[in-house]
A and B are shown apart, each in its own frame.
Chain A
């Protein structure tokens, strides 16, 4: 139970296209994350799944059943809202019990289940408090308990950690994963934080301007971003302009001014002579070994900053071409001194130049 399919969903707010032909297949029991910058349509996607928004086009299937036109209260999807949406006039117990009452459970059964859910989220003993008497973290747990207690087929979490402080965030996200594994429930998780997405997800869908631009495991997304947006959205990267000089066996030689690098094109394949953008993650750039010749850039250290374990160095290769990389924290570099850096060809990602214009 809990296999969710979105088929070519398009959703407008007035004239504004918030979702553009979104198709997703979310497997039973997996943690599926929608990741993207603010305003890209993540919440809207969740709301379409929950039936809180009606899409103009497309269909939503849950376990093979078309639920597109079902009302929110006729679907087995429980949502945890970004601002928690706890009812201020009800106690913790009543908040959590609400969904069970709607399902018509008996009093004793309700008590048992609420107790179970509150224990699961570690809130036993707070049944009679009102939401306003709770800390942010506790409110977050009540919202979670309220959603899981009804045993939905799909649990929808909209940026569940965004209102917590940084320390709590890491702890709670691990708890959520543990809980999900224990219950085996299908979970759609929304966040704009890529680290959060990487650490908890079975699979991730990257969204941009209402479209799904890539779906894959965290590793696939990180190492093989199929388009420029994904490549630059994940991690910190150098973005350079270049021209394709030659191609052989999927290995491209790209000129960056006078220098040139070998790299790969994980998405659309550019032709020879075409303008391209080159994306290289900061952490993929390292000091070249003595004697290393391929994919080496020579320049001068323009800026050096110590950031704990590593030295971050900005290397000026030539007029208009600079590249940022990391050296070991104990290495010595003088500003203005010559330096050689290297990057392996699989870390040099090449995309058509038109990607920049989007």
Chain B
């Protein structure tokens, strides 16, 4: 009774409508599709697809292949790291685990150096370590293949240094290396943010009690950084599972992401979609959720969304000793610079005439000209812009509404809403894409909304749901700076909730909304999971990222087409950079948003 009175008093009509709107959008376009994804295979009355999960290619025990091969090449030995094939499901888990462990180690190492030491070249390192977050759909992984893969630069480099062995990575080993390079900065940035937030007196107190050096680090610094580490590791695991680029570049077909995409691309209508890939997409979702709840113990989704501003105090910073200096210049520097290679490589490909040998040759703008006069690309670009703008309308509504509710409503269960609206960050995009495809493919079969006829609608929805958390978080950050009393003062003077929202709240968070929208828009433009699956179903309506994928993989893939794809991605990087710089300037964030 009392609770009811409280609810009716807190909820004026506008608030209730806002809540209803948010909940229905998320139910229709996230919760229902994902539930359907999980439940539909169960309604098939057939165990067969589930039993498939226990057979090749989904499961392959004992594994096939070799961990590594050494071959004599006259003057030198070639060490080729491969990794064995355990089948689609176990491969995915194995790769994600390995990438998570490696990324976490590297991320913590670099974060420690950056957060606690002051040394010449630190700024360079800081910039280089953020470079990998510039999103390079597909092409980045192909650059890494050029470096680490068959006959790659690493091997050549070792030989030219006079070493008797050359190393190259292929298959699963290559995927692990590439993904580690792509994803470790996520751990680094999150850990760094945590470390900068540690109250220096906590460490000083421990020091005061006789703890120092490694023991201080192990007993105080690391445990206090755990939320950041967990957030980073949590994301990396999920990103790795749904990544397509590295498996494609290193020609690994037996992972979940590739199976899902290949199957959708090959299907002409909803019946042709194999039940086993629906199961795979559901499994991907369950694995991500399971992992997410495991790390959630340490971290709330808030830290997933964007990195905090760093400490309010002056963090403790030291001059490195000899040992640490060695570590910095011989381990950390090369690692970090190496990780910026995909972005650098994209530009090398985009501006070079050819890159067959060790170094790229010839300088040209031809690829940009070619790309911008390619009908497919131009149409894809136009489609992407239209979808992203349409998605942005939805995103602005979702983002401002849900963040307002979460920050202002003092009701039980409101944190569940928070988790719901931020969850797209931790849910594999391919599962969302598959869920939307299956649900709306069945519901609207042979209507204008059938994704096999008009994928545009689902693309907009997919972009909106997946990229809304960036805006939500930016607005939320703004709302936290707007003291509640500012709204209360308005209501106290006779302004209704709606008038308060429009005259007080919106003007004060306007910049946050704009900055968040900018980021959401840019990431919509470079969205991959929905774009190449749902987007492939009608080429007339396919977005830009689909054509990048198409250039790299389809009949006309390889050869010169990587230059063309790179030219597109180079343009995307420039737009991303501009958006990030601009929104950081507006929001005064110390770090970039995490791109997904």
* Chain A interface residues (CB < 8 Å from chain B): 50-52, 54, 56, 69, 71-73, 77-79, 81, 83, 85-89, 98-99, 102-103, 146-147, 150
A-B contact pairs, 15 of them (CB 8 A): A50-B488, A52-B488, A52-B492, A69-B5, A71-B491, A73-B495, A77-B492, A79-B489, A88-B508, A89-B507, A89-B508, A99-B493, A102-B493, A102-B494, A102-B495
Q: Are B495 and A98 in touch, CB under 8 angstroms?
A: yes
CA A137 – CA B5 in complex, angstroms? 40
Q: Are A98 and B492 in touch, CB under 8 angstroms?
A: no
Q: Are B494 and A79 in touch, CB under 8 angstroms?
A: no
**Seed contacts A83-B485, A85-B485, A150-B494; 12 additional CB < 8 Å A-B pairs:** A52-B488, A52-B492, A54-B6, A69-B9, A71-B491, A73-B496, A85-B486, A85-B488, A86-B489, A87-B504, A88-B508, A102-B494
CA A146 – CA B492 in complex, angstroms? 11
Contacts of B540 in A (CB 8 A): none
Instruction: Answer whether residue B314 sits at the interface, using C-beta atoms and an 8 A cutoff.
Output: no
Q: Are A54 and B483 in touch, CB under 8 angstroms?
A: no
Instruction: Answer whether residue B499 sits at the interface, using C-beta atoms and an 8 A cutoff.
Output: yes
Contacts of A98 in B (CB 8 A): 490, 493, 495, 503
Q: Are B483 and A83 in touch, CB under 8 angstroms?
A: yes
Q: Are A56 and B2 in touch, CB under 8 angstroms?
A: yes
Instruction: Answer whether residue B207 sits at the interface, using C-beta atoms and an 8 A cutoff.
Output: no
Contacts of A83 in B (CB 8 A): 483, 485
Q: Are B493 and A150 in touch, CB under 8 angstroms?
A: yes
Q: Are B491 and A73 in touch, CB under 8 angstroms?
A: yes
Contacts of B494 in A (CB 8 A): 73, 99, 102-103, 150
Q: Are B488 and A102 in touch, CB under 8 angstroms?
A: no
Contacts of B10 in A (CB 8 A): 54
Give the shortest distance, in Å, between A246 (CB) and chain B (any CB): 51
Instruction: Answer whether residue B374 sits at the interface, using C-beta atoms and an 8 A cutoff.
Output: no
Contacts of B6 in A (CB 8 A): 54
Q: Are B483 and A85 in touch, CB under 8 angstroms?
A: yes
Give the shortest distance, in Å, between B252 (CB) and chain A (any CB): 53
Closest to B496 in A: A73
Give the shortest distance, in Å, between B326 (CB) and chain A (any CB): 50
Closest to A57 in B: B2
**What 0/1 readout, one digit per residue, does chain B (6-29) give for beta carbons within 8 Å of chain A?**
100110100000000000000000
Chain A to chain B: the 7 pairs with minimum beta-carbon distance, closest first = A99-B493, A102-B494, A85-B485, A85-B489, A72-B491, A54-B9, A81-B485
Closest to B499 in A: A102
Give the shortest distance, in Å, between A102 (CB) and chain B (any CB): 4
Number of residues on chain B facing chain A (CB within 8 A): 23
CA A50 – CA B492 in complex, angstroms? 7
Given that A54-B5, A71-B12, A88-B508 are contacting pairs, would A79 and B492 also be in contact in the complex, using a CB cutoff of 8 Å? yes
Q: Are A78 and B493 in touch, CB under 8 angstroms?
A: yes
CA A20 – CA B483 in complex, angstroms? 27
* Chain B interface residues (CB < 8 Å from chain A): 2, 5-6, 9-10, 12, 483, 485-486, 488-496, 499, 503-504, 507-508
Give the shortest distance, in Å, between B365 (CB) and chain A (any CB): 46
Give the shortest distance, in Å, between A57 (CB) and chain B (any CB): 9
Give the shortest distance, in Å, between A21 (CB) and chain B (any CB): 16
Give the shortest distance, in Å, between A114 (CB) and chain B (any CB): 13
CA A87 – CA B488 in complex, angstroms? 11
Contacts of B499 in A (CB 8 A): 102
Contacts of B503 in A (CB 8 A): 98
CA A23 – CA B485 in complex, angstroms? 26
Contacts of B483 in A (CB 8 A): 83, 85
Contacts of B9 in A (CB 8 A): 54, 69, 71
CA A321 – CA B503 in complex, angstroms? 63
Closest to B495 in A: A102
Given that A54-B5, A81-B485 are contacting pairs, would A73 and B492 also be in contact in the complex, using a CB cutoff of 8 Å? yes
Contacts of A69 in B (CB 8 A): 5, 9
Give the shortest distance, in Å, between A279 (CB) and chain B (any CB): 38
Closest to B510 in A: A89
Give the shortest distance, in Å, between B497 (CB) and chain A (any CB): 8
CA A89 – CA B486 in complex, angstroms? 11
Q: Which of B9, B12, B499, B508 has the most CB of A within 10 A?
A: B9
Contacts of B504 in A (CB 8 A): 87
Contacts of B488 in A (CB 8 A): 50, 52, 72, 79, 81, 85
Give the shortest distance, in Å, between A118 (CB) and chain B (any CB): 16
Contacts of A147 in B (CB 8 A): 493
Q: Which of B485, B486, B492 has the most CB of A within 10 A?
A: B492
Give the shortest distance, in Å, between A98 (CB) and chain B (any CB): 6
Contacts of B485 in A (CB 8 A): 81, 83, 85
Contacts of A72 in B (CB 8 A): 488, 491-492
Given that A56-B2, A69-B9, A71-B12 are contacting pairs, would A87 and B495 also be in contact in the complex, using a CB cutoff of 8 Å? no
Closest to B508 in A: A89
CA A79 – CA B493 in complex, angstroms? 8
Give the shortest distance, in Å, between A281 (CB) and chain B (any CB): 38
CA A51 – CA B495 in complex, angstroms? 13
Contacts of A54 in B (CB 8 A): 5-6, 9-10
Q: Which of B485, B491, B494 has the most CB of A within 10 A?
A: B494
Give the shortest distance, in Å, between A127 (CB) and chain B (any CB): 18
CA A199 – CA B6 in complex, angstroms? 39
Give the shortest distance, in Å, between A164 (CB) and chain B (any CB): 18
Contacts of A99 in B (CB 8 A): 493-494
CA A169 – CA B5 in complex, angstroms? 41
Give the shortest distance, in Å, between A14 (CB) and chain B (any CB): 9
Contacts of A103 in B (CB 8 A): 494
Give the shortest distance, in Å, between B341 (CB) and chain A (any CB): 45
Contacts of A71 in B (CB 8 A): 9, 12, 491, 496
Contacts of B5 in A (CB 8 A): 54, 69
CA A193 – CA B249 in complex, angstroms? 72
Q: Which of B485, B495, B499 has the most CB of A within 10 A?
A: B485
CA A85 – CA B492 in complex, angstroms? 11
Contacts of A87 in B (CB 8 A): 486, 489-490, 504, 508
Closest to B491 in A: A72
CA A89 – CA B502 in complex, angstroms? 13
Contacts of A150 in B (CB 8 A): 493-494
Contacts of A102 in B (CB 8 A): 493-495, 499
